Amino acid sequence: MKLNKNVNQKNSIFKNWLVILVAILFIILPFIINAYWVDVLFFFGVYALLGLSLNIVLGEVGLFDLGHMGFMAIGAYTTAILNTTFGIPIIILLPVSAISAGAFAWLVCSPIIHLRGDYLCIVTIGMGEIVRLTLNNNPFGITGGSNGVYGIDFPSFGSIFVVDNSTKFYYYIWLIVGLTIIGLVNLQRSRIGRAWNCIREDEIAAESTGIDVRYYKLLAFVLGAGLAGVAGNIYASKLMIVSPESFSFMESCMLFCIVLIGGMGSIPGVLIGAAAISLFPEVFRAFAQYRMLIFGVAMVIMMIFRPGGIWPRKRGAFEFKPLLMKAGEENG
């Protein structure tokens, strides 16, 4: 037991230093760069949050979800409609949009959760497309059709503090990303996280050890969708407008790439993947129309040289070694 603790401490100290360094860098960054890049980093944050939310479904449990933008759309439109129609403050709508996206996920995923691999993939694509097309068709005149809903308020804490410029939005999103990461790291180490990974590695083995596969899969979808709903809320309040084009199939594919470029189930990996997807087109803006061409080539090359992602997760290596050492100690 002693040994186990020591190893863990060593690991956590090193990690803490790295985390603190990165955190400090993120805090001072807005004072160094101009407003345009602060905005770029804001969208990096949104992609990071979305990547983290998809990482629960795809990375932790290994469920193919290519319609994740649909959940974000539900969150964003919940915020937009309730705010513009009833004037409910954005900050109260933050949990509301999370719950509505989660509830939507529960509703649509319950009947299809038993589907495997590619069949689940196409159903999630279909679900995402149904959401987008329905929003586009302006049902009951509440979603504003292809124009979307506009005139959404800024998030405000009473009248004391209003998040109304790029820098404040930057801190706002990264605060939420930070809190999410803390929550997810704990989740990864919990019983739920282990059950998820077990399902990803071998579903039948998981079921035979008493893991309620259906329940944990649904839980992953609901949690992932809830986080995407949060991202939708922040996105809507930043842009002050939501329209169906923002939630296209292409965007869902990009989220898929964020998780796979970073490394499945790896939180630092997701951040790197989100950085790659959101910063790459900005950095290569000078190439104008060749930009996306280069982007595609980079994706292919990336996968050829690092198929496991940039920062793959090494769960087995660092968590089971101490246990093995302990076992050896007892025997010898």
Partner 1 sequence: MKIILEQLLNGLTIGSFYALIALGYSMVYGVMKLINFAHGDLFALGSYLGFTLLVSGSAYATVTFGIWGGMIAAMLIAAIGIGIAGTLIERIAYRPIYPAGRLPAVVSALGASIVIQNGIMVIWGPRPQAYSSQVVPSVILNIGGIKITLMQIVVLIISFILMGLLFYIIQKTTFGAAIRACALDRDTAALMGINIETIIFFIFALGPALGGMAGVMVGMYYRKISFTMGWNYGLKAFTATILGGIGNIPGAMIGGLLLGILEMLGSVYISTAYKDVFVFIILILVLIFRPTGLLGEKIAEKV
Which residues here bind partner 1, judged by CB under 8 A?
A: 111-112, 114-116, 118-119, 121-123, 125-127, 129-130, 133-134, 136-137, 204, 249-250, 253, 256-257, 260-261, 264, 289-290, 292-293, 295-300, 302-304, 307-308
Q: Which is nearer to partner 1, 90 or 109 (CB)?
A: 109
**CA–CA dist 323, 319 (Å, integer):** 7
Shortest Å distance, C-beta 165 to partner 1: 34
Give the residue with the Cβ less far from partner 1, 160 or 288: 288
Q: How far apart are CA 163 and CA 234, in angstroms?
A: 11
State how far the Cα of 105 lies from the Cα of 112, in Å rounded to an integer: 11
Beta carbon of residue 228, minimum distance to partner 1 (angstroms, whole number): 19
Rounded to 10 deg, the angle between the 90-109 and 68-86 helix axes is 140
Closest CB to partner 1 among 238 and 313? 313
Question: CB within 8 A of 147, min separation 6: which ones?
Answer: 243
Complex with partner 1: residue 136 or 233, whichever CB lies closer: 136
Min dist. Cβ of residue 134 to partner 1 (A): 6
Residue number, 128 or 155, with CB nearest to partner 1 = 128
Structure-block tokens of residue 277: 């997807």
The nearest distance, CB 315 to partner 1, in angstroms, is 17
The angle subtended at Cα 83 by Cα 77 and Cα 86, nearest 5°, is 120
Classify 150 as helix, strand or coil. strand
Where does residue 210 rank: exposed (0-12), middle (13-18), buried (19+ CB within 10 A)? exposed
Q: Are 127 and 67 in contact (CB under 8 A)?
A: yes
**Of 53 and 136, which has the nearer Cβ to partner 1?**
136
For residue 41, the minimal CB distance to partner 1 (Å) is: 24
* Min separation Cβ 202 and partner 1, Å: 9
28 versus 204: smaller Cβ distance to partner 1: 204
Q: Tell the smallest beta-carbon distance from residue 270 to partner 1 (Å).
A: 14
Least Å distance, CB 141 to partner 1, is 14
Residue from 290, 287, 270 nearest 48 by CA: 270
- Closest CB to partner 1 among residues 45, 62: 62
Q: Report how far residue 112's alpha carbon sits from residue 67's, in angstroms, rounded to the nearest whole number.
A: 14
CA-to-CA distance for 72 and 92, rounded, in angstroms? 17
Handedness of CA 278, 75, 172, 192 (dihedral sign): negative
Longest pairwise C-alpha distance within the chain: 74
